[in-house]
Amino acid sequence: MGRVALVTGGTRGIGEAISKGLKEAGYSVAANYAGNDEAAAKFKEATGIPVYKFDVSDAQACEDAIKQIESDLGPIDIVVNNAGITRDKMFHRMSYEQWTQVMRTNLDSMFTVTRPVIEGMQSRGFGRIIAISSVNGQKGQMGQSNYSAAKAGVIGFAKALAQENAAKGITVNVIAPGYIGTEMVKAVPADVLNSKIIPQIPVGRLGEAEEIARGVVFLASDEAGFITGSTLSINGGQYMA
């Protein structure tokens, strides 16, 4: 097939499953990460997928790294904007730093990573942009005003970009995962997980990273060309948007 996919935060958690799923589907994949060299090296060794260390909140770093990836692998056809962080705090105790860190990593990254590839996709007449939002961007979550705002922003971004590019062979879609059993969620204390979080999920369990990856692989395919500007909720029935 020869198509090239960039997965931000593609070395751990949901991103790792997405990188592997796209590779299995025949794409040439580049996986980005921020600073965990050990996890990235392990991932690279296990999968053979090349890794690129850069901060998605740094516009210049993204531009430079994307040039490098395109020179190594070829033009990027698929971008999965997956990298994300949490800095949870009740709003009245939240620092400006906690607010901006989440905004920059989770929302500014939509610009910094997508802007350098969009014109190439337009000129080639094909592109797939897939952003990972969250159920908490759809419904809001106590203690996550920063994260909920950024993740809701991702949905608005995708709808606008989808309209601009619908006639150019580029689709822009969002996946909004519910609670998935990655390190981000396993950092939540077990009693909170068992007494508060899992009871809210009608399917009765956390999701698996591979369940998000399968959605990404579908949205990246040629067969999904009529789907754009949409948000696919993969949350075990927790919130039906």
Taking CB under 6 A as the binding criterion, the range among 4-12, 19-27, 115-123, 166-174 that sits at the site for ligand NDP is: 4-12
The site string for ligand NDP over 126-155 (x = CB under 6 A, - otherwise) reads ------x-x---------------------
- Integer Cα distance of 100 and 23 in angstroms: 33
- Of 59, 85, 94, 197, the residue at the interface with ligand NDP (CB under 6 A) is 85
**Least distance to ligand NDP from the beta carbon of 233, Å?**
10
- Integer Cα distance of 85 and 77 in angstroms: 25
Site residues for ligand NDP, 94-113, by CB under 6 A, read 105
* 182 is a site residue for ligand NDP (CB under 6 A): yes
The site string for ligand NDP over 65-84 (x = CB under 6 A, - otherwise) reads -----------------xxx
Contacts of 29 (CB under 8 A, 6+ apart): 4, 5, 6, 7, 10, 19, 22, 23, 49, 50
Residues paired with residue 170 on neighbouring β-strands, in sequence order: 127
- Of 5, 30, 52, 55, the residue at the interface with ligand NDP (CB under 6 A) is 55
**Closer residue to ligand NDP, CB minimum distance, 126 or 131:** 131
Q: Is 176 helix (H, G, I), strand (E, B) or coil?
A: strand
- Integer Cα distance of 135 and 234 in angstroms: 8
Burial, 95: exposed, middle or buried (Cβ in 10 Å; 0-12, 13-18, 19+)?
exposed
**Closer residue to ligand NDP, CB minimum distance, 4 or 14:** 14
- Integer Cα distance of 81 and 87 in angstroms: 19
* 56 is a site residue for ligand NDP (CB under 6 A): yes
**Least distance to ligand NDP from the beta carbon of 126, Å?**
25
* 183 is a site residue for ligand NDP (CB under 6 A): yes
Q: Is 96 a catalytic residue?
A: no
* Dihedral angle sign, alpha carbons of residues 193, 130, 30, 47: positive
Burial, 38: exposed, middle or buried (Cβ in 10 Å; 0-12, 13-18, 19+)?
exposed
- Please report, as ranges, the residues that interact with ligand NDP according to CB under 6 A: 8-9, 11-15, 32-36, 39, 55-57, 82-85, 105, 132, 134, 177, 179-180, 182-185
Residues belonging to the active site = 147
